Chain A
Amino acid sequence: MQALSSAINPKDAEFVANRAAMLDGLAAHEAEQALGRAGGGARYVERHRDRGKLLARERVELLLDPDSPFLELSTLAAWGSEYLVGASVVTGLGVVSDTECVVVAHDPTVRGGTMNPYSWKKIIRALQISRVNRLPLVSLVESGGADLSTQAEGFIPGGQLFRDLTLSSSLGVPTVALVFGNSTAGGAYVPGMSDYSVMVRDRAKVFLGGPPLVKMATGEESGDEELGGADMHSRVSGLSDYLALDERDAIRIGRDIVEHLFWRKLGPGPSEPADEPLFDQDEVLGIVSRDLRVPFDPREILARLLDGSRFEEYKALYGTSLVTGWGSIHGYPVGILANHRGVLFSEEAQKATEFIMLSNQIDVPLVFMQNTTGYMVGKAYEQRGIVKDGAKMINAVTNSTVPHITVMMGASYGAGNYGMCGRAYEPRFLFSWPSARSAVMGAEQLAGVMSIVARQSAESANRPFDEEADRMRREGIERQIEAESHAFANSGRLYDDGIIDPRDTRTVLGMCLSAIHSNVIAGRRGWGVFRM
């Protein structure tokens, strides 16, 4: 395979300005992540420590193999909502006893680790990642269960959590619960539904109803230790399989449990040389346009993403607004679809369809690099069948069975988001760069469309058109759409798995591809590859 070349000039004013804009976005992102890391604030953190307990991330760090990488997911969950950024739970992809696992850890410093609607979404997404990719799940439990003030929104998703836990188990994905503290009511079912449960002596309290509730229900007087203490569960009820002497002991036992899973990955694993790209990954920052209307060549990104910058381009001269081709990341073969000039025409849609089928034929996962304003509109294009061609591409994406990973680099508007494997198309992982913007269409276009519709409506009713009111309405809509399409807003709603530093894309994709290879990689069979 030939290596890509690069034509960028890091001293170029555009490059420098792009870089500065991206760094601003990254700084804003880091500030939001820091809010989430701070948990319930200094007072609660201190109180937690004074009880001799470890913080959620400290538990995770101790659980993970030393020096192994850890990809935290959905760090901006609940952004823009009334809840703390991060949704009071830590989820991520990490390595425990040489086994890639999904880790879920409640943050007990935030409202006792209770779960709000965003926490449910975030945990259920982590479970989905665990299940679909066949990654053992380790839950570090200390949660008062549902946040009762939001019970209306939490009650139903909570049920899904229990269901998903045992569903994972039935699919051969082991689940391990390490219980560090309260795990009451709904929380009690996490150890209950997990394959293995470990409870910390004198700390873990697992019961359906605590002493006050029991008193209310039956009038029985009881202590919390006899109702749900770790010792009781280890010796009497059998809900706990291992009694841990303290938190560290629980983590040690958790690591031993994962070790005894004797995990074997089912994917073929890396097969290509995993040499670094030829070009500096830092330069990605200056390549991505700060103005979404200015396209950039995705090959410059690929030259900083793929092993040895090697890329074998498919149909380089056809449908040139979309770049397709094969390469590898950390040794894992991938097919890449990357938008070049935003718009998808019939040619691009057909090319993408063929490319997806070809990759399915050879069982190679696909990476979608989004920067699209959608499918082309206009008489000529409609008459040529852009709807049919777009439908082919969406059909191929939907029915492709090789794993997909999506990276939202810039624009992601309209059906382009669907064709390029947006969230609704269930890519195994989906990450955004801070520069990403996603909505049904661009804010300006959307406001303009609404303005035109209003003007037409006024004309047909013979009403006078208030230009000033229209201008203000347009501006208002633009602001709203701009805010709603912002990467943080989409990430807050769990429309992605997190925002990543563009420079880390190779690392993140490497981890995800390795995780994906825990399960079988099998493309769709049936028809031969159609030439569209």
Chain B
Amino acid sequence: MARTPIRKLLVANRGEIARRVMRTARAMGIATVAVFSEPDAREPFVVEADEAVPIGGDSPATSYLNLQAIMEAARLSNADALHPGYGFLSEQPSLARACEEAGIVFVGPPAEVMEMVGSKLTAKGIAREAGVPTLDFWALPAAGGEGGGGVDPRAAATAAGYPVLVKASAGGGGRGMRVVREAVDLEAAVESAMREAASAFGDPTVFIEHYVERPRHVEVQIFGDRYGKVSHLFERECSIQRRYQKIIEECPVESLDEHVRQGMYGAAEAIGRAIGYVGAGTVEFLVDGAGNFWFMEVNARLQVEHAVTEAVTGVDLVRVQIMLAEGEKLESALGPCEVRGHAIEARLYAEDPSRDYLPSAGRISRFRIPDLPGLRVDASVETGSEVGVLYDPMLAKVIASAPRREEAAGVLAAALSSARIHGVMTNRALLVAILHDAEFLAGAIDTGFLDRHPPAELARSGGLPSEHARLVHGAVAALGLQALRREQAGVLAGLPSGWRNNESGYQWVRLSDERGALLVRYRMGDGRSGSRRAKPIAITVEQLSLDESSLPEGLSGSSPSSLDVALWDVQPGCVDIEEGGIRRRYEIDHPSHASAPAAVFVDGPDGSSVFQVGERFPLAAGSSGAPSLVAPMPGTVTKVGVAPGQAVEMGETLVVLEAMKMEHELKAPSAGVVDRMDVVVGEVVALGQVLAVMKQGDGETIL
């Protein structure tokens, strides 16, 4: 077979991975073409590409999952190769096939290979034949589907032994996956997994297997060339997961016994050879505490976490992919390699771990990760980017490498701690806490890590500022808001802030974060020029319960903490104060540029805080509109369970909302009758949008 050099590469993906692939392409002298959806028009990956082709609408189905549009973009741009990235169409045989038909080099395995590994069931069969350990499994065709009465789920689960895992045969990333511990929950789990699988991958097939408790997730990177050669490029551990999504990955896995490690390398290569693997792939294994491992699946693409392998081997995995796609032999694409040092990757998500990882959308008003030695940042966003609800909420991968594991963890934690990420909630505090955790540092990790350490608790213990620092941050936020208001004042902006000739009250602002509400009261003083020392001011911070609705004037009971604060300089974006005798500079950011920002971000040497700014005039009782079921987040309606007029029990599911890969069931808050149903399946809803209105028997509308 002749070598076909690539001159122009179309990246059929978005965000971080599109930027990553194009970076290597540029380094290899290959021109780059991006494809983009309407909401992505201004994203960095589009701007950075040599050329970019708009491929359509605002949903993934009409853009990055739209095979025809992507192939048309390749034709239009005269691309001679296509890199699929990960996710979207990356593991769809149809894409590889379409490329083949169009005479475009596909940077990935051939369609037949994808078909084989795309079904986990098929892959497991091949692995078993190749002598690789696998768990027993039972496939379930779709209920009422063509397969008809296949296996009985109950019998299968009993045979596998509870707890069992119900898992979609297609796809990955934790979608269509359910752990079932008791028979009573099985039916609902199977139904919901199938629905999610069908919606996500177009294939409702699921299988049941025994659920290995507290397993480790270890995977082996493999490469294959067109000439039948397959070899591994070491392993990665991806055991720290939240809801089956990896969030921290590393290489190497130091705690594995050498014979286990070698066993996995051998198994991975055996599977690769058995299916004739070409390109970069990953073979995933479950490892139990005793060092037993079982084959799980093959990922026929570049993994999100490939960067840790790059960091310790010095190999550019995308470069190897491209060379193999061009028809190079494995020996020339990938020379002899060794692992040097240790690398850890953290995935920074726009989500709120304290609220069940609710995705957080918004405009990134500030994005800065410090440039520390050994640090690599693969970001999909930059300052000014919009994080929407349509795509994966990963903002960036941050990778630290160092000679020793603890050092890498330390550098990574430091980088994340001092990062400035404003405009959306992130899992940053959780990541930092994990990286500081003693169990993690001892290498005693498995996929149950975050079940044992509830994220909210963990974040509080490690990554979030101390209670005192939080109060200081509250005061700093109030001072920054104060400066912002003065700057934006239409009249008397140059006069001293909050000046009074007959002082009777305090200026105040109510702030809240996940720990509760704060009431900050202050007087800025006379505002006269003079002194070369910091100017002391009166400022108190009072902790309120979250549901506190009364306003400052009438408050009593809770004891305000008086802070010993003197001002050096107070600007809307920067507050320089002396607190308890120590001078610190804080950065402040108000993501919305309106005069009344909804959130304030405070970053200082003693940590970072995010506060929601309370309404100065909360709606008085009785003034709100009709109580209703509102969307807790933006998303797409995937199921409407009831119709107007229908009586429902408390807790009955009314609407299912899919947002950022997760299904959220919205349940009836009490028994009653559905009065109105304002949404239909497929509708995209905004945060706080009324979905349905219920009323009780006596006709009164209820929440």
Query: Which A positions have Cβ atoms within 8 angstroms of B?
Result: 33, 36-37, 49, 52, 54-55, 57-58, 61-62, 65-72, 75, 95, 98-100, 245-246, 248-249, 251-252, 255, 265, 270, 274, 276-277, 280-282, 330-331, 498, 500-501, 503-504, 507-508, 510-511, 514
A281 pairs with B491, CB closer than 8 A: no
Pick out which of these stretches binds chain A: B200-208, B391-399, B526-534.
B526-534
A57 touches B505 (CB 8 A): yes
Whether B492 lies near A95 (C-beta < 8 A) is yes
Is B259 part of the binding interface, using a Cβ–Cβ cutoff of 8 Å?
no
Of B500, B505, B620, the residue contacting A69 (CB under 8 A) is: B500
**Chain A contact residues: over half helix, strand or loop, or mixed?**
mixed
Does the CB pair B501–A504 fall under 8 Å? yes
Tell whether, in the assembled complex, residue A75 and residue B528 are in contact, meaning their CB atoms are under 8 Å apart: no
Contact B491 A57, beta carbon cutoff 8 Å: no
Q: Do the beta carbons of A69 and B530 come within 8 Å of each other?
A: no
Contact B495 A33 (CB under 8 A): no
Chain B residue nearest to A38 (CB atoms) is B504
Take A67-B498, A69-B492 as given contacts and tell me if A245 and B623 are in contact as well, using a CB distance cutoff of 8 Å.
yes
Partner of B502, one of A33, A54, A508: A33
Cβ-defined contact, B617 with A248, below 8 A: yes
B535 to chain A, nearest CB (A): 12
Q: Taking A72-B502, A280-B529, A511-B495 as contacts, is the C-beta distance between A65 and B617 under 8 angstroms?
A: no
| Known interface pairs A58-B553, A245-B620; A330-B530 also in contact (CB < 8 Å) | no
* Residue B622 is within 8 A (CB to CB) of chain A in the complex: yes
Does the CB pair B553–A66 fall under 8 Å? no
Name which residue of chain A comes closest to B528, CB basis: A281
Q: Is B524 an interface residue (CB 8 A)?
A: yes
Choose from B489, B551, B553 the contact partner of A65 (Cβ within 8 Å): B489
* Interface residue from A69, A331, A503 paired with B498 (Cβ < 8 Å): A69
Are B492 and A72 in touch, CB under 8 angstroms?
no
Task: Assess the A330–B494 pair: CB atoms within 8 A.
Answer: yes
**Contact A507 B527, CB 8 Å, known A58-B505, A248-B620:** yes
Q: Which residues of A contact B551 (CB under 8 A)?
A: 62, 248
In Å, the complex CA distance between A111 and B507 comes to 29
- Tell which of B497, B507, B617 touches A251, judged by Cβ atoms closer than 8 Å: B617
Question: B394 to nearest A CB, angstroms?
Answer: 38
B622 contacts A69, C-beta separation under 8 Å: no
Q: How far is the CB of A262 from chain B (nearest CB, A)?
A: 11
Indicate if the CB atoms of B620 and A246 lie closer than 8 Å: yes
Interface code B482-513, partner A: CB below 8 Å = 1, 0 otherwise? 10011001111011111111101101010000
Given A66-B482, A72-B501, A249-B617, output 6 extra A-B contacts at Cβ < 8 Å. A67-B507, A100-B491, A280-B528, A503-B528, A504-B501, A507-B496
**B502 near A503: Cβ-Cβ < 8 Å:** no
B494 x A508 contact (CB < 8 A): no
Q: Complex formed: what's the CA distance from A491 to B407 in Å?
A: 72
State A248–B618 Cα separation when bound (angstroms): 9
A510 to B499, CA, bound (A): 12
B618 / chain A contacts, CB cutoff of 8 Å:
248
Asked if A282 meets B530 with Cβ closer than 8 Å, knowing A33-B502, A72-B501, A510-B495, the reply is: yes
Given contacts A57-B504, A58-B505, A330-B494, contact A95 B617 (CB under 8 A): no
Indicate which residue in A65, A277, A500 contacts B501 across the interface (CB closer than 8 Å): A500
Interface residues of B in 51-96 (CB under 8 A from A): none
Contact call B492/A68, Cβ cutoff below 8 A? yes
Name which residue of chain A comes closest to B616, CB basis. Answer: A66
Chain A residue with minimal CB distance to B485?
A: A67
Q: B621 in the interface, Cβ–Cβ < 8 Å?
A: yes
B554 within 8 A of A: yes
Q: How far is the CA of A278 from the CA of B16 in the complex (A)?
A: 54
Measured in the bound complex, the distance between the Cα atoms of B488 and A98 in whole Å is: 10
User: B495 contacts A507, CB within 8 Å?
Assistant: yes
Query: For residue A65, which residues in chain B have a CB less than 8 angstroms away from its CB?
Result: 485, 489
Q: Is the beta-carbon distance between A514 and B492 smaller than 8 angstroms?
A: yes
Contact among B486, B497, B502, B526 for A37, CB-based, below 8 A: B502
Mark interface residues in B548-563 (1 if CB within 8 Å of A CB, else 0): 0001011000000000
- Given A281-B530, A503-B528, A507-B527, CB of A274 within 8 Å of CB of B621: no
SS of B interface (majority): loop
Contacts of B482 in A (CB 8 A): 66-67
Closest Cβ of chain B to A275, distance in Å, is 10
Q: How far apart are the CA atoms of A33 and B490 in the complex, in Å? A: 30
CB-CB under 8 A from B501, the residues of chain A are 71-72, 75, 498, 500-501, 504, 508
Chain A residue nearest to B505 in the complex (CB) = A61
Q: How far is the CB of A261 from chain B (nearest CB, A)?
A: 13
Q: In the bound complex, what is the Cα–Cα distance between A72 and B496 (angstroms)?
A: 15
> Cβ of A277: which chain B residues have Cβ within 8 Å of it?
529
List the A residue with the shortest CB-CB distance to B482: A67
Nearest A residue (CB) for B527? A507
A49, A69, A281 pick with most chain B CB within 10 angstroms: A69
B665-685 residues at the A interface, CB under 8 angstroms: none
Q: Give the distance in Å from the alpha carbon of A408 to the alpha carbon of B494 in the complex.
A: 25
Closest chain B residue to A52 by CB distance? B554
**Residue of chain A at shortest CB distance from B508:** A66
Chain A residues with CB below 8 A from B621, complex form: 245-246
**Interface digits, B610-634 against A, CB 8 Å rule (1 contact, 0 not)?**
0000001110111100000000000
What are 15 A-B interface contacts by the 8 Å CB criterion? Answer: A33-B502, A55-B553, A66-B485, A66-B509, A67-B489, A72-B501, A75-B502, A249-B620, A274-B494, A330-B494, A498-B501, A504-B499, A504-B526, A507-B496, A514-B491
Which residues of chain B (517-554) have a CB below 8 Å from chain A?
Answer: 524, 526-530, 551, 553-554
Given contacts A66-B509, A281-B530, contact A61 B486 (CB under 8 A): no
Residues of B near A57 (CB, < 8 A) are 504-505
The reply to whether B553 and A67 contact each other, CB–CB distance below 8 Å, is no
Q: In the complex, which of the residues A66, A72, A508, A510 has the most CB atoms of chain B within 10 Å of its own CB atom?
A: A66
Bound Cα distance A246, B622 (Å): 11
A510 to B505, CA, bound (A): 22
Whole-angstrom CA separation of A390 from B129 in the bound complex: 118
Q: Least Cβ distance of B622 to chain A in Å?
A: 6
A331 to B492, CA, bound (A): 11
B494 touches A331 (CB 8 A): yes
Closest residue on chain A to residue B551 by CB atoms: A248
Separation of A500 and B496 alpha carbons in the complex (Å): 15
Contacts of B497 in A (CB 8 A): 67, 69
Residues of A within 8 A of B499 (CB): 69-70, 504, 507
A95 to B529, Cβ gap below 8 A? no
Interface core residue of B496, B498, B501 (most chain A CB under 10 Å): B501
Residues A72 and B500 in contact in the complex (CB < 8 Å), given A280-B530, A510-B495: yes
Give CA–CA (A255, B495) in the complex, Å.
Answer: 21
- CB atoms of A330 and B528 under 8 A apart: no
Which residue among A68, A70, A99, A265 has the maximum number of chain B CB atoms within 10 Å of its CB? A68
Find out whether the CB atom of A282 lies under 8 angstroms from the CB atom of B528.
yes
| Minimum CB distance partner of B623 in chain A | A245
Report if A68-B494 is in contact (Cβ < 8 Å); known contacts: A58-B505, A246-B620, A282-B528: no
Give the chain B neighbours of A500 by CB distance below 8 A.
Answer: 501
Complex Cα distance, B501 from A75, in Å, reads 9
Q: Give the nearest-CB partner of A510 in chain B.
A: B495
A69 to B524 alpha-carbon distance, docked (Å):
11
Complex contacts, B527 vs chain A, CB 8 Å: 507
Using Cβ atoms and an 8 Å threshold, which residues of chain A touch B530? 280-282
Q: How far is the CB of A209 from chain B (nearest CB, A)?
A: 30
Query: In the complex the two chains form, is A61's CB within 8 Å of B504's CB?
Result: yes
Complex alpha-carbon distance, A274 and B500, angstroms: 20
Query: How far is the CB of B461 from the nearest CB of chain A, in Å?
Result: 35
Verify A37–B498 contact, CB threshold 8 A. no
The 7 closest A-B pairs by CB, nearest first: A98-B490, A69-B499, A245-B620, A252-B617, A57-B504, A276-B529, A72-B502
| Minimum Cβ distance to chain B for residue A57 (Å) | 4
Contact B489 A68 (CB under 8 A): yes
- The reply to whether A68 and B620 form a contact with Cβ atoms under 8 Å apart is no
Task: Output the least CB separation between B565 and chain A (Å).
Answer: 16
- Chain B nearest Cβ from A98, distance in angstroms: 4
Judge whether B500 and A70 touch: CB under 8 Å.
yes
